[in-house]
Amino acid sequence: MFKLFSGGAAEDTAWAMRDIVAALKTRFSDVDSLGEDGPLKVYGVKDNGVNFVVALMQTGPGSKQVSELGFLARFSEFPNTAQAIERINQNLHISVASIENNDLFLMAGLQVVGAFNETQFNLIIEQWRRDLALCIHGLQGESASMAAAFPAAKLEVAREFATNRAPTQSADGEAGRDIDMLSMFMGAKRANQAICDDCGGRGKRGLIARMCEACDGEGFVDGRG
């Protein structure tokens, strides 16, 4: 469950700080302790030219047991508009973007659940990095190309093989039979299901993402009748 920092109130579940820091240093080559304030301890990470903070909220000052994780990146001197920030927020998964004094702050917070698992933690990191990429793309506007930033997308043979044409067209451009590509891709289990309106098929909803109750987090609902 994702949520904003609550101030370090003790939780039933907590992760050992040493495990989180070790996983961070395994994932990134440049990680530094920036300081702490009460139960909050922050680490600075440099990732391919982008700086961000990982904030660890302990169950109490000095407990070294972390109940909440946070991420923060600040983008300064980029041209931005309210419309651009709105578009960025529409595409973010675990984060929220906000303007303060002409700077954009990208923030995410989550409450830890279950026992610490490095694989799970790395998935959280990748979700944050995805939001960072979407935010940077939104700030740079038309000057940034997602495809150009992905090496495989530059390789012609890869681009050709990865091509998926609209299901109402055949390969030669002639009208083809109507095919439900989504149902095919998702398999028989999804054949009679429709994308959930509440979460748009993402399984999570809201600026601070939480599990969608309408579809139980699957992203699909019964589409029959």
Contact of 109 with 69, CB cutoff 8 Å = yes
pLDDT for position 11:
46
Q: Is residue 64 part of a domain?
A: yes
Handedness of CA 144, 149, 150, 155 (dihedral sign): positive
Q: Is residue 42 part of a domain?
A: yes
Contact of 8 with 67, CB cutoff 8 Å = yes
How far out from the chain centre does Cα 158 lie?
26
Q: Residue 99 sits in a domain of what CATH number?
A: 3.30.1460.10
Same structural domain, 80 and 191: no
Instruction: State the amino acid at position 201 in one-letter form.
Output: G
Same structural domain, 64 and 120: yes
Rounded CA separation 135/142 (Å): 13
Bridging pattern class, strands 210-211 and 103-111: unpaired
Q: Is residue 80 part of a domain?
A: yes
pLDDT for position 182:
66
- Res. 7: pLDDT tops 60: no
Same structural domain, 134 and 188: no
pLDDT for position 144:
53
Same structural domain, 19 and 130: yes
> In the chain, how many domains are there?
2
The mean pLDDT of 78-102, rounded to a whole number, is 87
Domain boundary among 143, 170, 199: 143
Q: Is residue 188 part of a domain?
A: yes
Q: Is residue 169 part of a domain?
A: no
pLDDT for position 5:
44
Same structural domain, 199 and 93: no
Q: Residue 191 — pLDDT band, cuts 50, 70, 90? A: low
pLDDT for position 157:
85
State pTM to two decimals.
Answer: 0.64
Rounded CA separation 221/201 (Å): 9
Residue scoring higher pLDDT (98 or 185): 98
Q: Is residue 172 part of a domain?
A: no
Same structural domain, 198 and 109: no
Most confident of 82-96, 113-127, 166-180, 207-221: 113-127
Same structural domain, 22 and 126: yes
Question: How far, CA to CA in Å, does 187 sit from each of 172, 191, 192, 197?
Answer: 26, 7, 10, 20
Question: How far, CA to CA in Å, does 67 sit from each of 73, 119, 142, 195?
Answer: 21, 18, 40, 33
Q: What is the pLDDT of residues 31-58, one digit of tens each?
A: 999 999 999 999 999 998 899 999 999 9
Q: What is the pLDDT of residues 112-148, one digit of tens each?
A: 988 999 998 999 999 999 999 888 888 877 555 556 6
Average pLDDT, the chain: 80
Same structural domain, 29 and 139: yes
pLDDT for position 1:
31
Q: Which domain does 204 fall in, by range?
A: 179-222
Q: Determine which helix (DSSP H) or strand (DSSP E) holds 5, and give its type and residue range.
A: none
Same structural domain, 46 and 116: yes
Same structural domain, 37 and 139: yes
Rounded CA separation 44/28 (Å): 11
Q: Is residue 3 part of a domain?
A: no
- Lowest mean pLDDT across 38-42, 158-162, 201-205: 201-205
